[in-house]
Structure formats: C-alpha cells, structure tokens
Homo-oligomer: A and B are copies of this chain.
C-alpha cells in the first residue's frame, strides 16, 4: 500500500474523525478493514491515555502495530525453521 501513485485505485476512508485517501493496489474492502483496525487501535490507546493528542496517538498506534508485526515475523521465522529442520530429519531417516 503506497500513498502516491495517481494511476492506482483511490479509496477514501475515515480514521479517527479525519478523511484519508489511500492509493494502492489493494481491494476496497481490504483497505476499509485496515483503516477500521487502525481507527479501533487509536481509540483503544485513547481510552487508556486520554491526554494524548491525535498526532501522538497515531504514532503510538504505528509503534504498537509495528511491535505486533515484528512478533509475528519472529513466530513466522521460527515456524519456517522448524519445517526445514523436520525436512532435514526426514531426508536423513
């Protein structure tokens, strides 16, 4: 998903009360789901710390999501590693 390719699909979504035009190759329903998850995460962080301004809220949402991403990537890499290990064992059996 990129934010600047005029030849691609443009989808307008609402996140935390502001309008965003998302430009990319993703399907509309996918972009709306992503936007809705970001909106939801921002509201969750706001609920636990209502003094944060929107800017900080959005950055912390990105930080939280990046953290989730890295954790999942670690699990993914471990899973791939265990598959390879199993394949090696089967070859040697």
**Chain A stretch 1-22: residues in CB contact (< 8 A) with chain B:** 1-4, 15-16, 18, 20, 22
How many copies of the polypeptide does the oligomer hold?
2
A92 CB contacts on chain B under 8 angstroms: none
What 10 new A-B contacts, CB under 8 Å, besides A3-B60, A41-B62, A58-B62? Answer: A1-B64, A1-B67, A2-B48, A3-B45, A3-B48, A4-B48, A18-B59, A20-B60, A76-B79, A79-B79
Give residues in A with beta carbon < 8 Å to B.
Answer: 1-4, 15-16, 18, 20, 22, 26, 30, 33-35, 37-38, 41-42, 45, 48-49, 52, 54-56, 58-70, 72-73, 75-76, 79-80, 83
